[in-house]
Structure formats: structure tokens, C-alpha cells
Amino acid sequence: MKREQFSSSLGFILAAAGSAVGIGNLVAFPVMASKNGGAAFLIMYAFFVFFICLPVMLAEMSLGRHTRQNPLGAYTQIGQSRAWRTVGWLSVLTPFMIGVFYLVITVWIAGYLGKALMGQLDQLADPAGFDVFINSNELFIYMGFVVALTFLILQGGVKKGIEKATTVLMPTLFIMLIALVIYVLTLDNAMLGVKFFLIPDFTKLTGEVLNGALAQAFFSLSLAMGILITYGSYIQKHDNIVSAGKTVAGLSLLVACCSGLLILPAVFSFNPDIEIAELSESSIGMIFMFLPKIFLALQADIGYFGASFIAAFFFLLVFFAAMTSLVSIIEVPVASVMDGKGVSRRKALYILGSAMVVLAIISALSFGRVDALTNLLSYGGADKSFFAIIYDMFYETILPLNGFLLCLFVIYRWKKHNLIAEISDGNQTFAGSVLQKYMNLSLGIFIPVILAIIFVNTVSTIYF
């Protein structure tokens, strides 16, 4: 069976940008930037995106297009050894497990969207509301909805599913984001937030901040999850990988910056005297606890319908961003099963979908409903739930490890000349360019070193 392809470079760019733009850009980035030096953080983050993440991104895309395989297939085909095949397995298991974790979060977002649409703002803003919702039976209705929608999109395949969905959702997302930014900037005291986001403070850039920023940039671009290898396997030979990669990285950064101009002005118009330290550390706290308070407070100014509308608009935006990321991550194991077992897309979806739903249900029960799941393991001085363990193991720990292994694989196993030849298809000026020399050096030496440091750092802070 001939492998499906994206119909154009633009189709690929929107799909990859859909994967990259997620909760990370919309919420985690603005909070991190405001706490850690504003524009100083932004400049450093942009530097990381283009000088450290972009080479890895181009390497993944090239590997995918060259092998026309999912990550397991790619590592097996080129690696020709049991060790590399094991790395391939890891690159499929990781997106599968992160997919479970991301599915649960997407279900929460769908739930908040549903509640905002029904005008239940006071429920959303209730401090105990989040806990009640994630432990309610209602949650499973939303899970059914998200699973059905994901199935529907992935069932359509590359062109009629992923590409079609992202070409509708991504431009809509951009327009909604800009509309919200414009609205928020007209609110009282919004400029205080803009100031906080943009005034640089270079003294805040400590080693820990740098580590966090790089990890954030890396994950926000969906690297080391096999996604860009898989999506890369659907790009056409004459497409220009370098310009596509630059566009995706640029779009992701742009969305992150716009989100800064949305979230922080909203926070300051809600409470001009807020101390930045009071902002929630986690994206989850920000989306599900802090922002709903702002929506509720808006009622006093623009009335019940106005405030519900703005809340629903915001959650729809986050929902679109989450759906396009969720689809991309589930496509990796789906492609692996299709390629490896030769089964149809529908069958692969049924097999993986049911396994993921079971794990997502177990995760959903691990927030207090079932004690054994809520306190499943104890490490790093805390009891950890099933959900927290997936997050720690796969998102925090194995991702940098996968990135590290990928760099070594591309440069030392697949070899530089093959990488250069692959990128040169569709880009005649790449060979011999500064970028090409920079990629060899960075992927071969300092990016793996940096990722190894992040890995060791994470392991020592999480588990000990």
C-alpha cells in the first residue's frame, strides 16, 4: 500500500504547528516568562528555539522522510541492531504514554468548555470546582466526546483527516487568539501585564531557569516524541524541510508571545496589585483555577452572557490547540502498528484507542477516587498517583533521553552525509551552508551534551 502524504508543504506546516502549539505555548510559556525575567526570558527562549530545537526538528523530519517509516521502523531500518530497535520501541512507547496523559488533560479542557458554554461560570471559579469535576462521572461523558472526535480525525488518514482538521483548526486558532489579545488589551490596567511580560530583567536568568526554559522549548516543539519523524514520513520529496521547520518553529514562538499578551494583561486587569509570585506555577492551575476567577469577575463589567462568551471562546481556543496536539501524538503509535503489522488504519485505531482509553480511565481514577491508584508509588519524598508517574517518567525523564539518543543516532549511525542528502532534496542550497555546518556540529556534540545534562538534572530532582 502506498504511504499517504500531505498534499502540500502548507498542509504539513499546519499539521506540525498544530502539534507544537498546545498548552505549553498558550499557558506555560507566559507564566514562565513573567516570573523569570520577561523579555530577557523571551530572548533566551527564542535563541533556544532556533539554535537548539530547530536542528533536532530538521533531523527528525529528515529521518522520517528518508525512511518513510514511523520511529520504530526508522530506528530498525537504519539502526540494524537490537539496541537501536529498543530505542525505536522507546520512541513509540513514549508518545503512547504521553498521549494518555494528554488525553486526560484534553478531556478536562473539553469539560470546562462545556461548562462555559452552559454558562456555569460560578462552578468553574469555585476553588473546589476543579477537584470535583475531575472526580465526577460527568468526566467520562467528555472523555467519550474527545475520544470520538480524535478517532474521527485520525480515521480520515493523513490528507482527509489530520491535514483537513488542522487546516481548519489552526487558522481559526490564530484568529481567535488575536481577537482575544485585542479584547484583553482594551481592559483597564492591561498595560501593567504587558510591562511585566516585556520588561527585561537579565538577573533572573539563573542556571535553573535556563534548564527549565530549554526543556519547555524542546517539549513545546513536540520534539523527541516521534511526532516529527512520523509527520516527516508523509512529506513529499520536493518539499523544503528547512523552510518548513523554520516556519513551524516561528509560528510556535509567535503563538507563545501572543499568549503572553493575553494571559498577563488579563491577570493584571483582574488584580492590578497582584504579585507575580502569586501566579500559579503549573499550567493546570492557571487554566483550571486562576483564569476561571477572571471570567467570573468579568461578569460585573460585561454581564453574564458576555463573560460566559469570553470564557467559552478562551476554552475553545485551548481545546483546538490541545486537539491538534493530541491527534499528532496518537498518530505515532497508530502509524507504528499500521507499518509494523500491516493492519488497516481503522484496526490500528481500535487496538490502540481501547488500550489508551483504559489507561486514561485508570489515570482519571487516580485523583482520589481509588486510593491504590492515587498513592501508587512513593519517591522523591512524595506519594505519586498513576497520572503523576506517567508524567514524571515519560514527559520529564524519557523525553530528554529520547532527544539525546536521536542526535547520536542521526549523526553517528545514519551519518551526516545522509542527513545532508535528505535535506538537500527540496533545498539545493543546504549543502555547504552555514546552517548545514552548524547542524553537524550541534547535533553531533553540544545538543546531546545539553540533553544529557537535563536528563541527569531531572532524574536527580524528581526521584531522589
Candidate ranges 15-23, 53-61, 170-178, 398-406; the one touching ligand PHE (CB under 6 A): 15-23
| Helix boundaries (H) for 365-442 | 371-374, 386-390, 399-408, 416-424, 434-441
Q: Between 223 and 261, whose beta carbon lies closer to ligand PHE?
A: 223
34 binds ligand PHE (CB under 6 A): no
328 binds ligand PHE (CB under 6 A): yes
Rounded Cα–Cα distance for residues 214 and 29 (Å)? 11
Q: Between 13 and 23, whose beta carbon lies closer to ligand PHE?
A: 23
Question: How near is the Cβ of 287 to ligand PHE at its closest, in Å?
Answer: 11
Candidate ranges 17-25, 106-114, 129-137, 145-153; the one touching ligand PHE (CB under 6 A): 17-25
Among 18, 22, 129, 193, binds ligand PHE (CB under 6 A): 22
Closest CA to 323 of 124, 139, 173, 155: 173
Among 36, 62, 94, 222, binds ligand PHE (CB under 6 A): 222
**Three-state secondary structure along 19-56?**
HHCCHHHHHHHHHHHHHCCCHHHHHHHHHHHHHHHHHH
Cα Rg of the chain (Å, integer):
21
Question: Binders of ligand PHE among 54-83, rule CB under 6 A?
Answer: none
Give the count of residues interacting with ligand PHE (CB under 6 A).
14
**One character per residue 415-454, x = contact with ligand PHE (rule: CB under 6 A):** ----------------------------------------
The CA-CA-CA angle for residues 94, 95, 97, to 5°, reads: 65
CA distances from 1 to 4, 66, 141, 230, 345 (A): 9, 17, 37, 17, 12
Rounded Cα–Cα distance for residues 18 and 222 (Å)? 10
259 binds ligand PHE (CB under 6 A): no
Question: How near is the Cβ of 222 to ligand PHE at its closest, in Å?
Answer: 4
Question: Binders of ligand PHE among 298-327, rule CB under 6 A?
Answer: 325
What is the binding site for ligand PHE (CB under 6 A)? 19-20, 22-25, 98, 102, 219-220, 222, 325, 328-329
